[in-house]
Structures are given as structure tokens and as C-alpha cells.
Amino acid sequence: MESLRATGYSLPDAVADLIDNSIAAGARNVWLDFHWSGAGSQVSILDDGCGMSEAELIAAMKVGSKSPRQERDPSDLGRFGLGLKTASISQARAVTVASKVSIASSTDARRWDLDHLATAKDWQLLRLPVAAVGDGAARLAELSHGTLVHWDKLDRLVGDSATDDERARQLFHDGLRAVEDHVAMVFHRFMAPPNPIAIWINGQPIRPWDPFLADEPATQRLSSEALDPRVTVIPYVLPHHSRLPAEIHRVAGGPEGWNAHQGFYVYRNRRLLVAGDWLGLGFVKEEHYKLARIQVDLPNSLDHEWEIDVRKSQARPPLRYRDTLRRVARAVRQRAVDVYRHRGRSIARSAGRSSTFVWTRHIREKKVSYVINRDHPLIQDALKAGTAESRRVRQLLRLIEEYVPIQQIWVDLAEGDEAESVPFESATDREVISLIRALYTAFVRSGLSHLEALERLGRTEAIGERYELIEPALEDLMEETVDE
């Protein structure tokens, strides 16, 4: 039992695993309660599902109560017969489960207490009076049927913290908020019409988080594809943030932010397993692909092939699906980057014809030379430095200008097989964003307003064709500009 605590559950994963049981039991309501009391803090999960008889409850408390090879009901969200126990003891040293199947039946309660097991040195599943289960017992009594899971001795979550330990209390409530975000994401399809399930946390309803913004008119739902009769893929390209209300854009970023949530969303029986990942298919999460999200639906009969783990937090596509998934991902990523860049290019085009170039062409005595534009904002900013430093900058610029390899460039372009490189083609997003911020700072220092600086950025040659990075580089300021 002590070893099973090391299965890697986070608090949100553990709570989600218990909600799986509630949904499988036909619950229409699930109540999550987090009660802070220092070392005496408690967590409970109550549902109005079908409940369990005494014999079923004892069986459910057994470790490995079902074989993973056993055929499951198509709607079953479990697999290993471990979730209730491993999820619970991953967070608490004691877990009590109380359940009843009808208003007329008795309510039975059983408890695993790791401290008791260590003392007794025997597999003693304790029987408890229902009243001792906690505050949830009274609420369970009001239901016709249902199940209550109660955690105490929360050593992983609060340890031996005192009730007035403000930092520990804050961490406890941070955990509560992480659970709320995770549940809203993992079970959003169960909480959506028709026949939605209601999930509550400390008396407040949890609102579902739809990663695909399916109700937004600007969301693009691309053609779905069946990998086989059991696996369906539906690609989405989300709207550019300029086409979303600010609050919807903020929420749509998800618990981890826009970049983290791009990629595939793998669902097993409508329950989310993977929330934004490229599934090891060779793609990297980058800023300009953040609008690409792809839904994949699996049945539970493919658990083994997709390598679903005990925590139901990962999935790996079988080899036979990988080429198709790569093809879908490439198409969606390209569509997403087109949407993402459209706004940046619009900014650039609306800024006027005049551009800020790095090099200028001079002709003197029928000889062509190229000199660095001293009016470029970054050059001006560097030349405003202290006397000695600005003198060195001028000397360096003059040296570069005198030794531009013009003839070699002509030869390379005329005779070579190599294609001409595009400015910043191989630069990382981080490098270009750093340059954009430096340019913006230089514009503002020169006396330009925010909007004027933004317009100048849009016609500054130095950022090449990477206009789409203006917004992430100056995200907070861009939101103000779009509002204006």
C-alpha cells in the first residue's frame, strides 16, 4: 500500500479518477469539498450515482479489484481496478468510502488507514459508523442513493501544518483551484448539453472548458477523418484573438496557457486524457501554431494499443495511425499559422508605404555602395550612448560598410545552386521577440506613442516576415491597442 502511493498522481489527477467512478455509476451531480483545518484538513467527493451494496463496497476497496484484461462496458471509464485506492492514498494516509443503493437500504462505510495497517501488520479493512465519515455523511443521508469518498491525514497536501499557517493554507487553496481547472477541462463534454452532469466545488458550480471554442463563429472546424471505424479525428483552428472578447480569449488559453495547449486532445469515452500534445510525432510547440487543436476520440477497447496508463493522463498512438496523424497535424498547423499571421500582416500593411530599412544604397562616381541606415531606430539608440561607446559603434559600422562582400554575393546568386535566405528564416521565436522588444523600446525613447511605435514596427525591415510575433512580444500592450 505504501508503494502504491508512488504511482505519480497529482491532486487534480487523483480527484479526476474518483469522478470517473461517479460518472460510471450514473451520477448526475458530483460535489467536491475541500475543508482547511491545518493537519486536520479534509477532502470529500460525494455523488448521487447508483451506490454500492456492502458486498460491492468491500470488493471495490480491494486493490486490483478488476483485471485490466477483463472486457468492460463500452461506457466504463475505469480499467485497472486501482483508481479509487491508488488515487486516494496518493494524497492521504486514510480513505473512507460510504455508500448506499436506495433510500431504504443501510449505508455502509469502509476505511483503509495506512497507519493502522503498519501497526496491525495485516490487511484489515476497517468498518466505520457512517456518522464518523465526516460532514459529507449528513448530505449522503439526504440522497436516495450515492457514494461518498472521504480523505483525511492529508500528509502529501498539508503535512503537519498548523491551522494558522498562512503559506500552507494558500497552497491548499491553490490545489483547490488546480482541481477546478483540471475538472473543467477533463470532463467538459460530460458537463455540456445534452444531459449535462453538474460538478460542484465548495458549493460553486464548475463551468466546463471547451478547448475548441466550438460555439464561436470564427472557429474553423475542418473535415473530420476516421482512422478506422473506432477512432475519429476532428481538427479545429481557433480564432485570432482580435476576433474574440478579451475574457473568452483569456479563458480559452486553458490552465497552462495558449502555447501549452496546442496539439492533439485525446478522449477516451468523451473523457479527456491528453490536453494538447503533439504525441511524439515530430512537431514542436511554437507560438505561431498555438491556434491548432485536434480532437481524437477512442473507445476503451483500445486502451492497450494506445498505452493508456493507470492515471489516465497519457496516450501514445499505435504505429499504424502515426502517418495519418502527422498528415492531419501538418495541414492543421499550416491553417493555424495562416490565421495567426493574418493579423500581424494586417498591422504591417495598414502602417503605410514608408518602411524602415537597415541598408541604404548609394551611388557615387558610378560606383555602388551600401551603407547602414543611421536613422534606423536601433542604430540611433546605440549612437545615443556615451561618447566613447558611440564612437566605437560608428567605427564598427564604417568597418562593416567598407567590407560588404558585394562581388561574392553577385557570384553566389548568379552561379550558385543555393537559394537566397530570408531574413530571420532560421532565427528562433525568442530571438525575434527580443529584437521586437528592443525596437519598440527604441521607438518609445524617441518620443513615439504606443500606437505610433506599433505602426513603425509593422514597417521595419529588421523583423523580416515575422510580423506575427509583434503581438506575443508586446501582448499586454497589444490588447490595449486592439481595444482602442
**Least confident window among 65-69, 127-131, 447-451:** 65-69
Which of 236, 333, 222 has the alpha carbon at shortest distance from 286? 333
Q: Which three cell numbers stand for residue 266?
A: 485525446
Which of 25, 150, 132, 166 has the alpha carbon at shortest distance from 91? 150
Task: Assess whether pLDDT exceeds 90 at residue 380.
Answer: no
Average pLDDT of the residues in 46-59: 95
- Whole-angstrom Cα Rg for the chain: 30
d(CA 316, CA 303) in angstroms, rounded, equals 10
As a whole number of angstroms, the longest Cα–Cα distance in the chain is 106
Residue 223: other Cβ atoms inside 10 A:
9
In the DSSP assignment, the letter for residue 274 is: E
pLDDT digits 0-9 by tens, 318-328 = 999 999 999 99
pLDDT digits 0-9 by tens, 444-456 = 887 888 877 877 7
- Cβ-contact 298, 266 below 8 angstroms: yes
Q: What is the pLDDT of residue 329?
A: 94
43 to each of 34, 73, 393, how far by Cα in Å? 5, 29, 64
Task: Assess whether pLDDT exceeds 50 at residue 344.
Answer: no
Which burial class, exposed, middle or buried, applies to 353 when counting CB atoms under 10 A from its CB (0-12, 13-18, 19+)? exposed
In the DSSP assignment, the letter for residue 259 is: G
Q: Which three cell numbers stand for residue 448?
A: 513615439
When comparing pLDDT for 189 and 365, which is higher? 189
d(CA 456, CA 439) in angstroms, rounded, equals 9
- Which band of pLDDT confidence, cut at 50, 70 and 90, is reported for residue 93? very high
Read off the amino acid at residue 2: E
- The packing angle between helices 319-349 and 450-458, to 10°, is 120
d(CA 80, CA 66) in angstroms, rounded, equals 6
Which of 355, 389, 395 has the alpha carbon at shortest distance from 375? 355
Alpha carbon 266 to chain centroid distance?
Answer: 13
Contacts of 372-379 with C-beta under 8 Å, sequence gap 24+, read 372/397, 372/400, 372/401, 376/462, 377/439, 377/442, 377/443, 377/446, 377/456, 377/460, 378/438, 378/439, 378/442, 378/462
d(CA 144, CA 106) in angstroms, rounded, equals 11
Q: Which three cell numbers stand for residue 389?
A: 561607446
Percent of the chain with pLDDT over 90: 50
Q: What is the pLDDT of residue 466?
A: 66
When comparing pLDDT for 285 and 72, which is higher? 285
79 to each of 5, 48, 82, 349, how far by Cα in Å? 18, 22, 8, 55
Contacts of 330 (CB under 8 A, 6+ apart): none
Contacts of 425 (CB under 8 A, 6+ apart): 464
Please report the sign of the dihedral spanned by the C-alpha atoms of residue 230, residue 233, residue 234, residue 238.
positive
Average pLDDT of the residues in 309-314: 68
Average model confidence (pLDDT) for the chain? 84
Read off the amino acid at residue 18: L
When comparing pLDDT for 480 and 372, which is higher? 372
Q: What is the pLDDT of residue 303?
A: 84
**Least confident window among 53-57, 265-269, 407-411:** 407-411
Average pLDDT of the residues in 339-362: 58
Q: Does the predicted TM-score (pTM) go above 0.75?
A: no
Helix (H, G, I), strand (E, B) or coil at 29: strand
pLDDT digits 0-9 by tens, 214-254 = 999 889 998 888 888 899 999 999 998 888 888 999 999 99
Contacts of 442 (CB under 8 A, 6+ apart): 377, 378, 380, 381
